[in-house]
Structure 1
Amino acid sequence: MELSPDTEAVLAYLQAYSGNTLRKMRDVGLILEVAAQRNVAALANDIIFTGAALWRVYRVWKRLPPSAEGYRTVTETFSESITALRQLLGQLLEEAPAEVQQRFQETYLRLAEGAVRNLVDLAHDLSWFKQLQNDMRRRRGESPQE
């Protein structure tokens, strides 16, 4: 699937904003492009929000030793966040082109450890996108959304 010039511009800005740290930039672009074509901005925002939340939980989870208080709760929250992001991506892809569906199925939606790592990488990028959204809201005088 070819990305529109608008989506390419958003990705270039996001890449610069992140300090060139994006890991799954093309897939973020596919999410934005499919959402724009399907006119489902709310679903795209849910994906961005859920991805950012997953990234926050992942960062906490990686710092906690398994013996730490709350480790089990954080692990459960991480698992729930993975499931939620997969479900939202599945909803978005229902009417996406076949090659996009196949890419996301193989990369993010299959039940394998590699898919979880890929989801975490995607969540990293979505977290940058959410941070950018919040920064832009602050600049306009709106309250940011966590």
Structure 2
Amino acid sequence: MRLSPDTEAVVEYLQVYSGNTLRKANDVGLILEVAAQRNVPDLANDIIFTGSTLWRVYRLWKRLSPSAEGYQGVVDTFSESITTMRQLLSRLLEEASEEVQQRFQETYLRLAEGAVRNLVDLAHDLSWLRQLQNEMRRGGRGSAGEEQG
């Protein structure tokens, strides 16, 4: 699937905004393109929000020791966020091309450890997009904020 010039511009801007740290830039573009073609901005925002949440929870989980108070709750929230992200992506892709559906199925939706790692990488990128959205809403110009790591 080819991205529209508008979507390509958004992804390029996001890449610069993130300090060239995006891990799944092409797939962020595909998500935005499919959402635009289907006219489902609320679903796109749900995916972006869930991705941002998943990335925050993942970063917290990696800093905690298994014996830390609240560790199991963080693990549970991480698992729930993975499930929600898979469900939202599946909904988005219901009417996408076979090529895009297959790519996302193999990369993100199969039940395998590699797919979870890919979802975390996608969540990293979506957290940058969420940060940019929030900055633009506050009237910022979209200059990079704090490092997301």
- The TM-score bracket by the shorter chain reads over 0.9
Aligned-pair CA distance for 1:128:
0.1
Residue aligning to 1:144: none
Distance in 2 of aligned mates of 1:108 and 1:129: 19
Gaps of 5+ in 1: 141-146
Aligned-pair CA distance for 1:105:
0.1
Q: How does 1:54-93 map to 2 (within 5 A)?
A: 54-93=54-93
Residue aligning to 1:122: 122
Gaps of 5+ in 2: 141-149
Q: What's the RMSD between the two structures over aligned residues? A: 0.6
Q: How many residues align?
A: 140
* SS of equivalent residue, structure 1 residue 127: helix
Runs of at least 4 residues off by over 6 Å: none
Identical-residue share of aligned pairs (%): 81
Equivalent AA in structure 2 for residue 19 of structure 1: G
Q: How does 1:104-123 map to 2 (within 5 A)?
A: 104-123=104-123
TM-score (norm 2): 0.93
Distance in 1 of aligned mates of 2:113 and 2:74: 18
Equivalent AA in structure 1 for residue 88 of structure 2: L
2:51 is the alignment partner of 1:21: no
2:45 is the alignment partner of 1:37: no
